[in-house]
Structure 1
Amino acid sequence: MKKAIPLLIALLFLSVSLYAQTGSVRGTILDTDKRPVAYSSVFLQGTNTGATTNELGTFQLSNVKAGDHKLIISAVGHERQTLPVVVKEGETTEIQVTLSASQQGLSEVVISASRTPETIDQIPSSITVLSRKAIEEDLMVSTNIIDILSNKVPGLAPSTGTSSNWGQTLRGRAMLVMIDGVPQSTPLRNGAVDMRALDPDAIEQIEVVKGATAIYGNGAAGGLINYITRTPMQQKPFASRTSLGMTGSLVSRDNSIGARVSQMFYGKAGKFDYVVSGAYEQTGEWKDAEGDVLPPDYGLGETDSYNGFLKLGYDFTPFNRVQLTYNYYSSEQKTNYVPQYGNYQNRQKSIAVLGETLGVPQGVRGNHNLNLRFSGENAFLNSRYEADAYYQSVDNVFFWSPSFENGGQSMISSEKRGARVLFTTPYKITNSLDGDVTYGVDVMNDVTSQPLVDGRTWVPEMDMMNLAPFVQLKTALAENLIFKGGFRAEKVNIAVEDYTTLRTVNPATGQIDNPGFEVKGGDLSYNAYLFNAGLRYNKFELFTPYASFSQGFSVADIGVMLRSARVDDMNKINTEAIVINNYEAGFVSKYSRLRFEGVGFISTSELGASGQYKDGVFVVMRSPERIHGFEATADLAVLPTLNLGATFSYVEGKRDVNENDSFRDEEDVYLGGERISPPKYTAYVRYALLDNKLGLNLQYTGIGARERFEINEKGTYNFYQGPVEPYHLVNLSASYRFSKNATFNLGVENLFNEDYFPARSQWFTSPTLYTKGKGAAFNLSMVIEL
């Protein structure tokens, strides 16, 4: 110990001398209209020293070694800049940088992948970020956020064309949906209606992290989707954005006309800023390519949607902020139609017919999100900090079903309360070895149940307490070699009281198929220790490789297992949690105006989460699973006014039924369509003319074929095993800015009126969802900004 004391003293003097030879860089990042670019990233090339601009577009880098440096500035929707700076000992270098809009619309700054803002080139995994500009392009065609994501995100299964995203997996597994990092998904009883959690006009950008990740906890088996809400767009006390729109069918306009209005006010005065917005949309009848009204089950026709959004911020110092955000969203279908189910075996589609609707309106009865956040820079050891307290409550009502005794409607109710604290502390060992450590803890209480609207219990109340400390390390091992690794410990307890399973009937025969079982409740406890690690090498733009390993954790929809119980004790049900291992390797290649990214992945788990119906009961199959696939993305700026792009996604998976660590035996089976999507192709052409006043965008989405199963003894296919036949969809949008403040938009969905069954309708094989896709439709809108 005595020998170590002189060494420690020497290191202390060395660090003091190093910091004595430092200065700082302070600056402001603006766009070409002289508006601040909030949340842009600023890094010193060859190091991990960096910062993120606040809402004023300002930043500061402290303890920068004196000398010549290159500063890299990047922001969502803007061209990346590299500029030289000279730092003098003991002085502060002031700079102002103007970023031009990105020609390709490539987003570079993300938050969701590591819980702290950083550029994509610091992340050793595949990320898709949709900027506000990209969202607005698709909003000209459809306001259904499920469609927007399906058209833009490689690896995400095809859109269902409904309010439900059930079967719409991310790389073959369930995903976690969030708003500003607050979970919207209900993994305890996954009703798969979480993607429609707010109105698209309240979204600033969308970040999609693909592959299992534990960075936000339970449920991100296939990755996560994080909706980042709006921030003030101009540095003035008052500004507004008004949007008026009309929608309708181009096949049969009768009763199809809908309307939409959205109003936003925002501004910044001194240290205070705000965004207040409201949106209302009423859709008309949705019709297929033959002009028939689409069935109301999970339908989006004749739907009233409301969204209220409020964000208040106060910068009590230039680098410390408090922010309060609240969002309310509801979307309920009020229709005079009832479904007339078709027949999959005869390829007879389901349609809607006039009739008396039973029960209450289906849809999102109300989704409340309240979030209080404190954040800042330059805390102890020059750390960045963030502390959140949040509340989320949602009621999702499903359609009337005759499967319950005397009929009924189920409703998933979920209420979450949570708190999160994290710090990001930079460190510097030598001039060539530095980085940062992000660490903290998440605490969440999630109470979820699925009763019937009339009060009967289907899924009992599940009360989950989740405590999870975590740490993430990022370091520059060499000048251009970045390593990221981390650890998260999940401690979960789920309490369930005694309950009785719900009596259900066979709708075809009217006979009781579940007389009801009394089930003893109890506690379920889980402890999981999850790791991630990755490398990225950034020296050559022509070839930037990356590779990573990450683990995810999921409680595998315990609710569906509890409601199907055929035993008298909950502890006799196999409710073991799933740990997913995700292996990924890819590269990014940039050459002149071309950007290409390719990535391959393998996802494994010792337990499965696929299900199948046995004797009318949904049973979860727990055998090991292996999923693999690859994705490719290309973007080319042919001219400053002409951009092209394309993506391709492929995924496949199997269950190891005999559990012998091989997936090639005859007993092993492919995963069904509810997990594995068919190949997906997308492409776009974006062209601006008339001095950028007129913008045209042509978008293509193609779904390939998948056929993995044999016809059963009844001459048809089992649930989830139907073959998927290809279909091709083309959307067109045009935008004309006829004054500085006003823009007129026209969008045409399914331009060539493709007559098709969406992938889910094909593989599910049930008449209840054997529904055709939406036919050609228009969307007219006008946006006024003051």
Structure 2
Amino acid sequence: MKFVYGFLIFAILFSVEGFAQKNILKGKVSDENGNPIEGASIFLQGTVRGVQSDLKGMYELKDFPQGTYQLLVSLIGFQNWSQEFSIEAGEVKELDILLKQDDLLLSEFSVSASRGILGQGRLPEVSDFRINAGKKNEVIRIAEIDANLAMNNSRQVFGRTPGISIWENDGSGIQLGVASRGLSPNRSWEFNVRMNGYDITPDPMGYPEAYFTPPLEVVEQIEIVRGASSLQYGPQFGGLMNFVLRKPDKSTRFTAESINTVGSNGLFSTFNYIGGTEGKWNYTAYYQKRRGDGWRENGFFNTDHAHLEVNYAASNRLKLGYEMTYMTTETQQPGGLTDAQFEDDSQQSTRSRNWFNTPWFIPSISAEYLFSQNTKVSWKVFGTFAERNSVGFMRPINQEDDLGNRQVDRDFYTTYGSEIRLSSTYELFGQEQTLMTGVRYFNGNIDRNQRGVGTSAADMDFSVPNGDYSRKLDYSNSNIAAFAENVFRLDEKFLFTAGIRLENIRSENQGQFNLVNGVPQFLDPVERTRSFVLLGLGAEYHLGKSTEFYTNFSQAYRPVLISDLTPPATTDVIDPNLQDSKGYNFDLGLRGSIFPSLNFDVSYFRLNYEDRIGTIAQAREDGSIYQFRTNLGNSISQGFEGYVEFDPITAIFESSRFGYLNLFASLAFIDATYGNFEIKTVNDGQVVERNLKGNQVENAPRQINRYGATYSLGKFSMTWQLSDIGEAYSDASNTLAPNAAATVGLIPSYQVQDLSASWNIWKQHSLKAGVNNLTDERYFTRRAGGYPGPGIMPADGRTFYLTFGLKF
């Protein structure tokens, strides 16, 4: 923390000097009719300095060295503008800018704007020290979605992203559980989860569970790059999920916003934000408070988020930045249900003394340096200092709470890492080529304390009166990686990418595994080091300006996690001989727009997962069933992902004074099955041999379809969405009949609808309202083997919300 305070003092001291500078370039950005243009980007070419025009079209650049510069101005729908100028020390120079319309781009932009809410896009071929060309990717633009952002409603947020499966058992919105292509949604652990490009999970190589999700009111967009992201972000099968927070406002010294939400079950959320730019400095800060009683009995949540970002242009070529994020939560967990309890009343809860808490602190320092207009480097240093705490009666859900001493489990995470990326462009074959290289170091430590004997109280109390835990493990993990990827453009239509990633992972696990009759049982210390190489290829062929074929192949790797090595303190049993998993992702697709009113992205995918780690229902000699976590051989997920968006009114009439209708369909058909794998179980004292071949992968619905319609008129829009999700199995044995503890059995298909509306009143006020689960569907997406279960974890029924926003 001393480092944090020191940096803030440094920032304040330098800000006084920065604000005192008088060197200014200012002016007004207008169109050909003299109307002011808001949001134009104004940059000094070859530097890190830039601002945006404000509501009146005014801009102001301060405190940059005297000299001669090239001023660049750009905005979608207008032709780029540039002009050379000179400025002396202390000079105040005025330079007005006239932007001319680009008829083609403006037409497409106007059509897009008229169509209301377009929450789905894709990344440019090269951007922000990364290569996206040839990769299956989506950009979810949060501001353009009618959704319950106060609750981070995943079903609405990911509605337009094909193939995303969601565990809907945390109605508070604190934790996110999503996956794709037959992978497990367990706290999004198959994705490399980042925020502004750096890690926010405890350990991507040892414990990648996402206990922290930033408030979506401050998220500008969510970037998803499917499995082919491994070359630049890590070996994960799922790929990258990056939350990009709102950047400092470059058009004003100070702006503020307050968004307040009330809703069903005592929901109250207040989000407050400030930001701005002054000379060499820009900044943002937010605070969110969210609390509610939850939809089920014995449910409660109270969470606080805070974030600060400060950036400083130390010179024309060097930009420094600092971010820190803090979250603390207090959550009462209703626990799971048996199948009979769920059918009787899915809102009920038999666990009144279960609590969960995740204090989370994430600091980050960044630097960006421009060696030249073609070569630049980025450096990020980041860390996570966090906890995962739970207390409660954690026995199987068919056992009644005896109101005795509860079980306390506590994890302490201390991680830090650094990543350097170099971007360079050069000319070859008469085309501009791009080379991206990088080096990454990461070190993480997990201090795991489980099965402590807590109090018999009902409140959130993590104290252990005897001061001891029967399980005390220490897990450390270090990772060194290097990658390189190049875009080769052969002509204006065809490009291909080639890349390589070298990984070295060193893991250690030791400590006390159990306490039997007062005698500690220690693990044999395990130290595992492995080095491997990942390869990837991609290609794009542009049929026209807005339509392209794309394909890619990328290898993947999943190390054994600490959670794989230790059961969740209830019903699971772990295979002591677990091995790392490996495999690859492949995509082949067509995306773009045939005309401005129709966008699409359709593709075939194949995910090969070797030595997959999963759970399988086994029978003991007494006939009781338990879940066994082991390597289940190979699995293959393949299928179709498609997204189509159509505006029939624009297609027929081009324009309408009665509003516009935007229709979308997000479709995924997934065949995720196991290969040849023989298993033996004991049933009624008899050894029974079976084979997993052809069994469906657990937690992998065969269909994930979502449909929606948005009506927009001026500043008003309303969106209806239907989610149609197929059935899934909770274990690799594809057990249909549930066991008594409700940890295995079928997860039925379901359909759920959402309705949301927004109205921007003037430019400073906004109203949003909606109904989630419009028809009050009773369903569940998960059977939990451990906390926050065990048992069936019901999704929320019908809820309402109302949001009022104010900017000034």
Common topology (TM > 0.5): yes
Q: Who is 1:624 aligned against?
A: 634
Code of the residue aligned with 2:721 in structure 1: it is Q
Are residues 409 and 417 of structure 1, via their aligned partners in 2, closer, same or farther at CA, if it must alter by over 3 Å? same
Inter-CA distance 527–29: structure 2 relative to 1 (3 Å threshold): farther
- Say if 1:606 and 1:715 are closer, same or farther in 2 by CA, change over 3 A: closer
Task: Show CA shifts across 1:734-785 (max 9, x none).
Answer: 222233211111111112222x212325999x98332432122111111011
The question of whether the paired residues in 2 share the 8 Å contact of 1:351 and 1:771 is answered with no
User: Cα offset for 1:356?
Assistant: 5.3
Closer/same/farther in 2, CA of residues 696 and 130 from structure 1, 3 Å limit:
same
**Residues 628-647 of structure 1 mapped to structure 2, 5 A cutoff:** 628-638=638-648, 639=650, 641-647=660-666
Offset from partner CA, 1:167-222 (integer Å, 9 cap, x none): 7432122222111222233455648443x422222312110112253245556221
- 1: CA distance between counterparts of 2:722 and 2:164? 15
In the aligned structure 2, how far is the partner of 1:233 from the partner of 1:305?
A: 26
Matched, 1:723 2:746: yes
| Residue 342 (1) aligns with residue 338 (2) | yes
Q: Secondary structure at the match of 2:154?
A: helix
Aligned pairs for 1:171-320 (under 5 A) are 171-173=181-183, 174-185=190-201, 186-187=203-204, 190=207, 192-194=209-211, 196-211=212-227, 213-215=229-231, 217-218=233-234, 220-248=236-264, 256-286=265-295, 294=296, 301-318=299-316, 320=318
Q: Of 787, 792, 798, which residue of structure 2 is paired with 1:776?
A: 798
CA deviation vs aligned residue, 1:619-640 (integer Å, no higher than 9, x gap): 2224122111221001123336
Quote the offset at 1:644 in angstroms: 1.5
Q: Report the equivalent of 1:489.
A: 502
CA distance in 2 between partners of 1:112 and 1:347 (Å): 50
Which letter does structure 2 place at the counterpart of 1:171? Answer: R
Count residues with an aligned counterpart.
678
Question: Matched residues in 1 for 2:42 and 2:223: separation?
Answer: 14
Paired position in structure 1 for 2:88: none
Following superposition, the deviation at residue 309 of structure 1 comes to: 0.9
> Which residue in the other structure is 1:702 paired with?
724
For 1:178, give the aligned amino acid. R
Does residue 669 (structure 1) correspond to residue 693 (structure 2)? The answer is yes
Q: How does 1:149-168 map to 2 (within 5 A)?
A: 149-162=157-170, 168=178
Sort the Cα spacing of 1:719 and 1:561 in 2 relative to 1 into closer, same or farther, 3 A: farther
* Unaligned residue ranges in structure 2 (runs of 5+): 1-26, 54-58, 60-71, 85-96, 184-189, 397-403, 451-461, 621-625, 680-688
CA deviations on 1:270-289 (whole Å, 9 max, x unpaired) are 12111111010111331xxx
Partner of 2:389: 397
Deviation for aligned residue 1:517: 3.9
How many Å separate the matches in 1 of 2:493 and 2:508?
48
The more displaced of 385-394 and 217-226 is 217-226
Deviations 1:4-31 (A, max 9, x none): xxxxxxxxxxxxxxxxxxxxxxx99999
CA distance in 2, matches of 1:314, 1:477: 39
Kept after mapping to 2: 8 A contact 1:150/1:156: yes
Residue among 356, 366, 369 paired with 1:362: 356
Deviation at 1:413, TM superposition (A): 3.0
Does 2:595 align with 1:585? no
Corresponding residue number in structure 2 for 1:654:
673
Aligned in 2, Cα 1:113/1:28: closer, same or farther, shift over 3 Å? farther
- CA, structure 1 residues 218+564, in 2 after alignment: closer, same or farther (shift >3 Å)? farther
2:231 and 2:499 in contact (8 A); partners too: no
Q: Is the 8 A contact 1:555 1:575 kept in 2?
A: no
Partner Cα separation in structure 1 for residue 633 and residue 28 of structure 2: 55
Range moving further from structure 2, 737-746 or 275-284: 737-746
Given the superposition, is the C-alpha separation of residues 579 and 81 from structure 1 closer, same or farther in structure 2, using an over 3 Å criterion? farther
Does the aligned pair in 1 maintain the 2:182–2:697 contact within 8 Å?
Answer: no
> Any residues of structure 2 matched to 1:413-428 within 5 Å, and which?
413-428=412-427
Q: Secondary structure at the match of 1:560?
A: helix
Q: Deviations over 1:528-572 (max 9, x none)?
A: 10011100011325752111001222213243324599xxxx9x9
Aligned to 2:143: 133
What SS does structure 1 have at the residue aligned with 2:563?
helix
How big is the shift at 1:579? 2.1
In structure 2, the residue matched to 1:375 is 368
The equivalent of 1:20 in structure 2 is none
* 3-state SS of 2:361 partner: strand
Secondary structure (helix, strand or coil) at the match of 1:169 reads strand
Provide the residue aligned with 2:133 in structure 1. 123
Q: How many angstroms does 1:156 deviate by?
A: 1.4
User: Secondary structure at 1:124's aligned position in 2?
Assistant: coil
User: Which letter maps to 1:441?
Assistant: V
- In 1, distance between residues paired with 2:639 and 2:733? 23
Residues 164 and 243 (structure 1 numbering): CA distance in 2 closer, same or farther, change over 3 Å? closer
d(CA) in 2 for partners of 1:267, 1:715: 56
- Provide closer, same or farther for how the CA distance between residues 688 and 211 of structure 1 changes in structure 2, counting only shifts above 3 A: same
Change (3 A) 1:621 1:695: same
Structure 1 vs Structure 2 CA RMSD = 4.2
Residue among 747, 769, 772 paired with 1:749? 772
CA distance in 2, matches of 1:582, 1:682: 24
Work out the CA distance in 1 between the residues paired with 2:29 and 2:120.
16
In the alignment, structure 1 residue 460 sits paired with structure 2 residue 469: no
Matched, 1:681 2:705: yes
Q: Distance in 2 between matches of 1:700 and 1:713?
A: 27
- 1:396 shift after superposition: 2.3
Q: Does residue 388 of structure 1 match 2:351?
A: no
Distance 2:733 2:563 in 1: 31
Quick one: distance in 1 between partners of 2:541 and 2:578?
41
On the 8 A contact 1:324/1:371 being kept in 2, the answer is yes
TM-score (ref. length: structure 1): 0.76
Q: CA deviation at 1:303?
A: 0.5
Cα offset, 1:143, TM superposition: 1.7
**Aligned residue in 2 for 1:4:** none
Instruction: For 1:553-568, list aligned pairs within 5 A.
Output: 553-562=557-566
8 Å CA contact 1:176–1:220 kept in 2: the answer is yes
Is this contact kept in 2: 1:307–1:327, CA < 8 A?
A: yes
Aligned to 2:64: none
Match of 1:151, SS? coil
- Supply the distance in 2 between the matched residues of 1:51 and 1:490 (Cα, whole angstroms): 34
Cα distance in 2 for residues equivalent to 1:108 and 1:150:
12
Change (3 A) 1:564 1:775: closer
Q: Distance in 2 between matches of 1:54 and 1:108?
A: 25
- 3-state SS, counterpart of residue 110 of structure 1: coil
Matched letter for residue 329 of structure 1: M
Amino acid at match of 2:164: L
Deviation at 1:501, TM superposition (A): 1.6
Q: Distance in 2 between matches of 1:370 and 1:144?
A: 23
Instruction: Write the mapping of 1:321-336 to structure 2, written as runs, cut at 5 A.
Output: 321-334=319-332
Matches within 5 A, 1:494-643: 494-497=507-510, 499-502=511-514, 517-540=521-544, 543-562=547-566, 573-592=576-595, 593-614=597-618, 616=626, 618-638=628-648, 639=650, 641-643=660-662
Q: CA deviation at 1:381?
A: 7.7
Q: How does 1:433-472 map to 2 (within 5 A)?
A: 433-452=431-450, 454=464, 456=469, 458=471, 460-472=473-485
* Alpha-carbon distance in 1 for matches of 2:613, 2:233: 17
Answer yes or no: is the 8 Å Cα contact 1:189–1:449 preserved in 2.
no
